[in-house]
Structure 1
Amino acid sequence: MTNGYDGDHLDFRGGEFTGPFTAKAEYHEHGPAPTALDALPARAVGFTGRDGELRALLDAFDPSAPERPAAVLVAAVSGLGGIGKTALAVEAAHEACGRGWFPGGVLFMDLHGYDDDPVTADQALEALLRALGTAPEHIPATADERAALYRSTLAERARERGAVLILADNASSPEQVRLLLPGNTRHRLLVTSRNKLPQLNARLLSLDELTPEEAYALLDRALRIADPSDSRVADGAEAAAELASRCGHLPLALQIAAALLVLDRDKPVAELVAELTEFRNRLTHLDDGERSVRAAFDLSYRRLPPEQARLLRLLSLAPGPDVSTEVVTVLTEADAPPTRALDALTRTHLVERGNGRGRWRLHDLVRAFGVGVVARVAGFREEGEAARERVLEFYYRWADAADDRLRWLPGMPEPERFADRAQALEWLDGERAGLVAAVQWAAEERYADAAVRLAACLAEYLEWRRSFDDGITVSRAAREAAHRAGDRHREGDAWNNLGLALWQMGRAEEAIDAHTRARDLYQATGNRYREGTAWTNLGLALWQAGRAEEAIDTLTRARDLYQATGNRYREGTAWTSLGLALQQAGRAEEAIDAHTRARDLLRTAGNRHHEGMAWGNLGLALEEAGRVGEAVEVYGKALEIFREFEDWYRAGHTLHNLALAHQVAHRPSDARACWLQAADAYTRANAPTEATQARTRAEEQL
């Protein structure tokens, strides 16, 4: 007997049968396979902020917008772990579907790109084909065949139902996503990733942390969702702002912080802030049992190649909010800048571009993560300590060279590293935050000596830039380290520099105490030169405090000491300071004589900048003596020098005095011109208060 199966019937033709027989067949009607085209996750409860980013995604996918490049077929949202990429993508998808842009449905796929076993492209295609209603037995075996069927199925879907949105969440590489690109341009692919994915020719959208206002709103909304009467954020706005800052304005960290507050209804916001104050342990607290900032970062860190992982660890130890490529090279002890590794880390959002080209920064919580990784492994700690030593020595060498250039006078050997003051100031300006932060490593014995030496190199610069808060911070760190080490000479230097910064801020009594301590330390070490400096500075602080007679006695002692040692430059500075005290005591002619002597001595010593200061002080004395015409001429000499040195603050102060002299001489138009020039100079010196006052005085002359 022969028979065959043909389609949906049995073929008995040609068969030979003896006796009766019965044929039994089963018929199965296969309906279409189920689809999963409405699988979009629910919106994030309490979604806050991101208005601009949401508009950007919707604008990219708006079918009614004018013709756009094919790149809008794909949008890729990237950012640091915990930055809120998925929440934004889901929100945008819901909004787009609500507007009727994707009648064909939404496909959602979590690619688990940073897990130990990420979804491969062919696995993703299989899942998406199933979601589109393809029966398992009809899904091809190879990735390319699956991709072809996927595109064909989407094209059919477009004809029957309309455009489809594919949301591929948590991709770690272009390879995971490339085969998911729909062939039909009506469809859209939305990808989220911790990495930037420029290889997809996509519309790229990088997410930053929330603004302070958005972070505050997220905290408040999260608490009120749990309990509408919970007003802890609104009642403690300042503490809430500090909490948001401690969380780095990172959505995941903020959500965890809110959950911790919800779990403990009686816990004040300020108490949680206090728990997050310790930088090294911050990530320990940002864990609510289900979510952890450290775990989120660890997923990214474990995928890094060894070179990039090491670079991230060392960057977490760098001083200041951002660092230059030059400092990164020193940290890593590389022969050349590790540019490729830095670029790779920026693509993962673990490293960000800093304030200017060639500068790099870490998010505060990424920095805390890196510090924690270093602390847990002995080998990493040793590597980190050596790196910090290299940075301190590098900073000291260059800051010392810059300081030499700032203090250089004609006749002295030319400094080698910087051709002029402008170059020295440019380097110091670029590295200032890092330099100030590095000095504070003086609290650790291993770094104390180098940090104290570095502090001494910054005093002139910080005074020049009028960064008095930084001057106080640096001097106090150096003073405490030198005291612990028993180095009385350097402790005296630190007290002296501290006193100068305090004096510039108008804190005369504190400055008097600081310079008195410096004087005593110099006397104890027998350093007559430094002792004279301390006497001079003490005299200025006494003058500022209105203690004219004490200031005169103190400055006379400083002058005599310098005369005895033959130091004309220092004698000149003592004379001009003495002139100020004499003027305060009402001894105008003696003050004029003192300033004249100072001017001549400083000119002879070749210190043109300090000569300008003596000219300015002489102008004050002449004006007070009623010799206004001479004062105007003298102020002009001072102004010329300050402009030459680009000392804009003192230029503004001189123009201020010149304007007053013109007012005394009843020349309002000249006074107004000087007030306006003073405002400009103060603006260039970053002295906005003085600039505003000068502009107000100019208006009064109209």
Structure 2
Amino acid sequence: MLIFAVTGMGGVGKTALAVEAAHRARARGWFSGGTLFVDLRGYDDDPVTADQAVLALLDALGVRDGDLPPTADRQYDAYRALLAGRRDRMLLILDNASDPSQYLPLLPGTDHHRVLITSRDRPDALPVRLIDLETLAPDDSVALVTRALRDTDERDDRPAREPGALRELADLCGHLPLALQIAAGMLRRRRHRDIASLVAEIRETGDATTVLDHGSPGTDLYGRSLVLRPVLETSYRRLPPDQARLLRLLCLTPGAETGTAAVAALAGLDTESVLSLLEDLAARYLVTQVGGGTRTVSAMRWRLHDLVRGFGAGVVAADAGLREEAEAARKRVLDFYVRWADAADDRLRWLPGMKEPERFEDRGQALAWLDAERAGLVAAVTWGREEQFADAAVGLAECLGEYLAWRRYFDDWIAVAGAAREAAQFAGDRLGEAIAWNNLGSALREAGRAREAIDAHTRARDLFQTAGDRHREARAWDNLGLALRERGRAREAIDAHTRARDLFQTAGDRHREAGAWNNLGLALREAGRAREMIDTLTRARDLFQAAGDRRGEGGAWHNLGVALRAAGRVEEAIEAYGKSLELCRGFEDWYGMGQTLSNLALAHKDAHRPAEARAAFLQATDAFARANAPTEAAKISTAPPNNPADPQGDHHL
């Protein structure tokens, strides 16, 4: 006997696939004995039992009324005897099963026939060949809605006129076939309105299930109900209390994907306990393990379907007790993020002689964790708009600046710094507000918005001065100098970096003093003071070396190469670029490598070494591509520059 099970979340199209497969198989003559179909209604309030189902199957096989055996046991015997006696192969479809007790007694006692089960739960009671259905690919989602509209009216050209709105609608439907069918039905009724109007309605409401169910056509061509929320409600109601609790809490996670450790913090459970619950929910197709494979527990990540997330959030919002439970869970996961983001940030900033950060043994581990949790970390900062989370959100934002700058996620950095500023203002935290303004200024400058960056750093400087925090004031002065230089205001930049340098010297912070010397050198270059630039950058390099900051030293070597080449000392410049490349490679600083290789190519060109220049340009293109800097990569690949790449500044967070 061969048993197949089509499994997947509610609304993904299991029944439709099973029926379509049966029609095609019958057309090909595979089941000359016919097809038996039973809807077990496993997720209804009153599911069909096996005893009830066997009566329907016997009736379909011609056994009814007086011929029907009087007891359930004899009815099962008669059912199996009839199947065993049939020479023509049959297909038995047991649709919508929620529990093995519904279908185990109905399996034929012969391997002559075939069985197809559909369920929202992975059946583990038998050796079943599983067919897991996932949501549609974006292109297939668009095709489904387009075909549904054109089958009704071939003149309906809205999909062609509004491709962007149609794709957004498919995204809002989570690419779930049931949701897409409902949306298509609504658009058919709204034939004089554009697709964008439905998209706007869903966006405004914030809950696709509410909009789609309110406008649902009711039933499809087969008489099946086209509603979303009852599908999700029935799956939720069948969960044991511990699984239902975890599902509700997962709907509140800040990111689309969440690691096992973060889920454990959210639920207030140990990792092994929460992993078992997650696996149970995955078996019910309410969560999905992302990536799969034999990943370690700490590396496992989990995703909720958007419609499940919206449903669960609605369940929580409607109950005061659940809202209180949710607030405690959000605080736990935010505390978790703050702790480990702080440790990861400490590792990224670590220098010899500093205390070893917890958990992360090297930069690679810290970056890997931050990369995996980035979406959740960034989204969690926005919780700071709520009073109880403001302080933690401000702290989390400060921990993310170095990482977001390193990875060049400038949009995220701007969003995080802006949210932290709002949170600090809301909480009346003037120092936190100043820190956020300073971070925001650095993010804006890196994103090419130097004018706004000047305003942000000026605000930060003034707030630090008012607070009497001279050390942070020095950081704001230094960052302000970088923004002023970007705007061509070199003389003001020189003054700002000089002030920063002096304040760092007074504080005895030789490491940040090195950064200020480096940035002062860049401003001197803009002012045409090349000789002073060389002396200043040499001072910066030596201080970075003394502090053990090899990354900062690499940047100083690069800038020194720029100064030496400008002074006509090409061979010394090439040597300086070589030192910079060596240090950049050690940190996998791809953007720094791209800058240095671009300038090294120009130096080789000055030295009449075209082959070396071409090789350096090609390597620079690859480095910029790996650094998430496609604009710089494209510029070099289409036309190698004649001017030097930007020098490497040092922002202070």
Q: Which residue does 2:122 correspond to in 1? A: 196
Q: Which residue does 1:437 correspond to in 2? A: 379
Contact 1:676-1:698 within 8 A present in 2 as well: no
Q: Deviations over 1:367-390 (max 9, x none)?
A: 000000101111110000000000
Q: Which residue does 1:110 correspond to in 2? A: 39
SS in structure 2 opposite 1:169? strand
Range that drifts further, 169-178 or 257-266: 257-266
Q: Does residue 1:323 correspond to 2:265, yes or no?
A: no
Q: Deviations over 1:582-635 (max 9, x none)?
A: 112222111111111111222223322212111110001101111110001111
The 5-angstrom pairing of residues 49-128 of structure 1 reads 73-128=2-57
CA distance in 2, matches of 1:501, 1:144: 74
Q: Which runs of 4+ in 1 moved over 6 A?
A: 697-700
Closer, same or farther in 2 for the Cα pair 1:689/1:152, shift >3 Å?
farther
CA distance in 2, matches of 1:504, 1:200: 58
Report percent identity of matched pairs: 61
User: TM-score, with normalisation over the residues of structure 1?
Assistant: 0.85
CA distance in 2, matches of 1:425, 1:196: 36
Q: Deviations over 1:165-219 (max 9, x none)?
A: 1111111122222233234434221111111224332221111111212221222
CA distance in 1, matches of 2:309, 2:603: 55
Q: Does residue 1:218 correspond to 2:144, yes or no?
A: yes
SS in structure 2 opposite 1:419? coil
CA distance in 2, matches of 1:669, 1:279: 61
CA distance in 2, matches of 1:292, 1:282: 11
Amino acid at match of 2:282: T
Note the C-alpha offset of 1:421.
2.0
Q: Which residue does 1:252 correspond to in 2? A: 178
Q: Does residue 1:243 correspond to 2:169, yes or no?
A: yes
Corresponding residue to 2:427 among 465, 468, 485:
485
In structure 1, the gaps of 5 or more residues are: 1-69
Aligned pair count reads 626
Closer, same or farther in 2 for the Cα pair 1:670/1:144, shift >3 Å?
farther
Q: Which residue does 2:347 correspond to in 1? A: 405
The 5-angstrom pairing of residues 358-377 of structure 1 reads 358-377=300-319
Q: Does residue 1:311 correspond to 2:240, yes or no?
A: no
Amino acid at match of 2:364: A
User: TM-score, with normalisation over the residues of structure 2?
Assistant: 0.91
The 5-angstrom pairing of residues 38-49 of structure 1 reads none
Q: Which residue does 1:605 correspond to in 2? A: 547
Corresponding residue to 1:496 among 438, 442, 455:
438
Q: Does residue 1:576 correspond to 2:518, yes or no?
A: yes
CA distance in 1, matches of 2:393, 2:157: 46
Corresponding residue to 1:354 among 290, 298, 317:
290
CA distance in 1, matches of 2:173, 2:258: 22
Note the C-alpha offset of 1:698.
8.7
CA distance in 1, matches of 2:59, 2:640: 77
Q: Deviations over 1:503-551 (max 9, x none)?
A: 2222221222221221122122121111111111111112122222332
Q: Which residue does 1:285 correspond to in 2? A: 211
Q: Which residue does 1:33 correspond to in 2? A: none
Note the C-alpha offset of 1:683.
4.2
CA distance in 2, matches of 1:460, 1:699: 29
SS in structure 2 opposite 1:190? strand
Range that drifts further, 524-533 or 449-458: 524-533
Contact 1:374-1:380 within 8 A present in 2 as well: yes
Q: Which residue does 1:26 correspond to in 2? A: none
Amino acid at match of 2:233: D
SS in structure 2 opposite 1:276? helix
Q: Does residue 1:639 correspond to 2:585, yes or no?
A: no
Contact 1:512-1:538 within 8 A present in 2 as well: yes
The 5-angstrom pairing of residues 129-278 of structure 1 reads 129-157=58-86, 159=87, 162-278=88-204
Contact 1:496-1:515 within 8 A present in 2 as well: yes
Contact 1:219-1:255 within 8 A present in 2 as well: yes
Contact 2:252-2:330 within 8 A present in 1 as well: yes
CA distance in 2, matches of 1:347, 1:477: 37
CA distance in 2, matches of 1:629, 1:227: 73
Q: Which residue does 2:223 correspond to in 1? A: none
Closer, same or farther in 2 for the Cα pair 1:187/1:176, shift >3 Å?
same
Q: Which residue does 2:530 correspond to in 1? A: 588
Larger Rg: 1
SS in structure 2 opposite 1:286? helix
Corresponding residue to 2:278 among 318, 342, 361:
342
Contact 1:599-1:611 within 8 A present in 2 as well: yes
CA distance in 2, matches of 1:380, 1:268: 38
SS in structure 2 opposite 1:284? helix
Amino acid at match of 1:227: D
Corresponding residue to 1:301 among 236, 240, 244:
236
Contact 2:518-2:536 within 8 A present in 1 as well: yes
Amino acid at match of 1:166: L
Note the C-alpha offset of 1:149.
2.5
Amino acid at match of 2:189: L
Q: Which residue does 1:41 correspond to in 2? A: none
SS in structure 2 opposite 1:196? coil
Note the C-alpha offset of 1:680.
4.1
Q: Deviations over 1:6-57 (max 9, x none)?
A: xxxxxxxxxxxxxxxxxxxxxxxxxxxxxxxxxxxxxxxxxxxxxxxxxxxx
Note the C-alpha offset of 1:692.
5.2
CA distance in 1, matches of 2:363, 2:82: 69
Higher relative contact order structure (alpha carbons within 8 Å, sequence separation ≥ 6): 2
In structure 2, the gaps of 5 or more residues are: 219-225, 643-653
CA distance in 1, matches of 2:85, 2:588: 72
Note the C-alpha offset of 1:141.
4.7
Corresponding residue to 1:453 among 376, 392, 395:
395
SS in structure 2 opposite 1:666? coil
Q: Which residue does 1:385 correspond to in 2? A: 327
Aligned-residue Cα RMSD (Å) equals 2.1
Note the C-alpha offset of 1:278.
4.4
Amino acid at match of 2:502: D
Contact 2:92-2:114 within 8 A present in 1 as well: yes
